[in-house]
Structure 1
Amino acid sequence: MRENDDGRSGFDVSVLGLGAMGTIMVRALLKQGKRVAIWNRSPGKAEGLVAAGAHLCESAAIALAASPVAILVLLDDTAVQEMLGADGVGQALANCTIVNFSTGSKEDSLALQALVNRAGGHYVKGMIVAYPRNVGHPESYCIYTSEREAFERHRELLEVLAGHAVFLPWDEALAFGTMLHAYSFAAMVAFYEAVGASRHFGMSAPKMARLLSDASRFLISDALEDAVRRLEEGDFAGDQATLDVHASAFEYIAESMHACGARTPVFDAVCQVVQRAQSMGYGDQDVSATTQFFAAEVPDCADSPAPPEFDTSQCSGAAVGSATP
C-alpha cells in the first residue's frame, strides 16, 4: 500500500462493520471506483466484498489507519466505544475523520467525538434515511452533524452513499431525523391500512396498492408543497378547501370503511385531529392549519381536565366499534 502525504495508507475510505447496511455501502463505494479498506469482527462476511475489490484488514486499527476517512456501521455506539477504546486504536485515529452511522444517543455520540478529538481525529455523526437497497440512490438522504469542516472535506465521498447529504447543527439534525422517520413511517402505515382495508370493498390488495401509489403521488406531493408555502408565509386561508370541508368528507370516508368492517385506527386518529382543530377555531382555514394543533403546548395533566373522548359519531357512525383493533 502506498502512503498519502498525511502518512495514511493509500485507500480512499475504510468501512468498519459489514452488516446489511455496511456491506451495501462498500458495494456503492466500489461501484464508484473508490479504493475501500474493510474490517469486520467476523471476517467471513468480507469474502464477497474482497472478490469485488475491497481490501480486508486484519484489525480495526489497521483499517482506521488505511484511509483519511473511516465509516463506522457497527451495532450501536457501545460497540463503537469498545472498538475505539481498544489497545492500539488510539494512534490510528490521528488525522482520521470518523463518520459514525451506528445507533446511539446524542450523549453517546458527543462522548465518542471527545474521544476521537483527543486522539487528534475528527468526528461526524451520520444518519442514513434509506433502506440498504437505496444506499447510493441519487434521491436518498443522509443527515450529518458534529464537525462541519470535516464533513465538507469529505462531502463528495459521502454523496456516493446518498445523493442528498444534509449537514445541520446537532439539535436540528436530531429534530429533523426524528420527525422525518416519524412522518415517513406514519405515512407508510396509513398506506398499509388502506391497502389492507381494500379487501372489505372486494378489491385485491396488490391492485389497490398499485392504484394508490400511482394516484396519490402527485396529490400528496402538491399538498406538501402547498403546506410548506403556507407555513413560510403564515397564510392558512381556506381558498382551496377549508378544514370544515375536509371534516365533512372525512365523515363519509370513515363511515364507508367502518360500514364494511375495516380496521382503520390511523384514519380514526386523523378524524380526531380534525375535530380537535375545529374545536380550536381553525374550521374556516386550510387543512394545513392543523399544524397549529400539533404545535400547541401540551397542558399539564395534573392541572387540566382530560381531553374529551373522540366523538366517533361525528366520523363513523354506529359501526365504528367493530372497526377498532
Structure 2
Amino acid sequence: MVRPGDRVRFDGAVHTVVGISGMLVRLADGLGQSSAMHLPTLMTAPGFEVVGSGPGRLLPSGLLDGLEAGLAERALWWHRHMTEVLTGLAPDAPAGTVPRPEYDPASSSLADREATKAAELSVELGHPVSRHTVRRRRQRYQKRGVLGMVDGRHAPRRPPRGQVDSRVVDELRKLMDQAADGSTRTVSYYFTRVGRAVKKLDGPPVTMPSRATFYRLFNRLEAGRHTTGSARTRRSLASQPDGAFDQVTVCRPGELMEIDSTPFDVLVRLHRHPSGALPGQAKYLYQRTGGSISSLSHLIRASAISAIIDGSERITRRLLDSVPVDHSTQSDNPAPSDGEDDGIEDAA
C-alpha cells in the first residue's frame, strides 16, 4: 500500500506520491513533473515497487487548541477512521504496513469501505452507525480535514476580520457608523480614509491589508447596513430601535399601541392656511382615521385638493368633515358631532 510521501518506482523512474483521492493517485518525478493515474494501475504496473516511505501525516501544531479534551479526542478518533477509509491505513501506521483487505483501495471501492467502516463502528460504539453517517463524515473530512470532525457548535471559528489588524477594523467600523446620515460612498473611499486614519494612531505601525482583502473585510462588516447602497434605507436602519421585533399577545383592545415613526413626507402650500395648524387637530384626526396612516394621508390630501379647487386655500374643520375616509375607518370611528366637546376649533 502507498501513502502520500512514499517514493515508488514506476516506468523506470522514481516518483513521489504527493496525494491520493479515492482511487486516484498523483505522482511527481524528480524534475517536478506531475501525473495522475488510478491506484490499481500503478500497483500492477511492471517493475512497480515502493523504494522509500515518507513521514506519517502530521496535524498542524495547535490545530485543536481551545477545545475541551473530550472534543479534541473525538475529532482525532474520527480522523483516524476517515484516514483508513480513504487510504486503507491509519495515519500512525508503521512504514510497510499492509492495509486490511476490506480497506485496501486496490481491491475495494470507496462505497464498500464506507459500509465496512459503518459496521465496524456500530460494533465498537454499541449503537447503529449508518453508511450515510460515515459518508457524510468522510465528505466533511475531505473538505475541512480534522476540523471537519469537530462538533460544529464547538469548532474553532475565525473572527470576521481574519488576519487584519484589529485597529483597521475599528477605524472602518467608526466610518461605517458615521455614514448613517451622510452621503453614499464607495468602498475605495473607505479604503483611502482608513489608510489615512491608521497612520495617525499611536503605538506600533499598522499594516494595511491589500485592497482585495480590505474589500472582503468590508463586505463582511457591511452586511445588512447598506453602507454603499440606498441612503434612505441606511438611515431607516440606523433609526430603528434596538432589539428584534417579535410577536406580542394582548388580551383586550388598547392594551398595546404601536407608533409608526416613519417621516410623513407631505408638504402642502396653501395661501390662507396657517403653518403648523394641523398638528393642533391631532385628537380630531385620530378620531376620524382610527390612527391609520393611509386614511390620514387620504383625508389631508383630499382636503387640500378641495381647498385649492374651491379657492378657499385653507383646511377647516368643516372641510375635513366633508371628506369621506375608507368604509371600515368611517364605520368604526365616526366624525365627532358638532356638539361634542373635542377641543377643536372649526377653522384650522
Instruction: Identify whether the pair has TM-score above 0.5, normalized to the shorter chain.
Output: no
Q: TM-score, normalised by structure 1?
A: 0.24
Q: TM-score, normalised by structure 2?
A: 0.23
Name the structure, 1 or 2, with higher relative contact order (CA <8 Å, separation 6+): 1
Structure 1 or 2: larger helix share?
Answer: 1
Task: Report the structure number with the largest CA radius of gyration.
Answer: 2
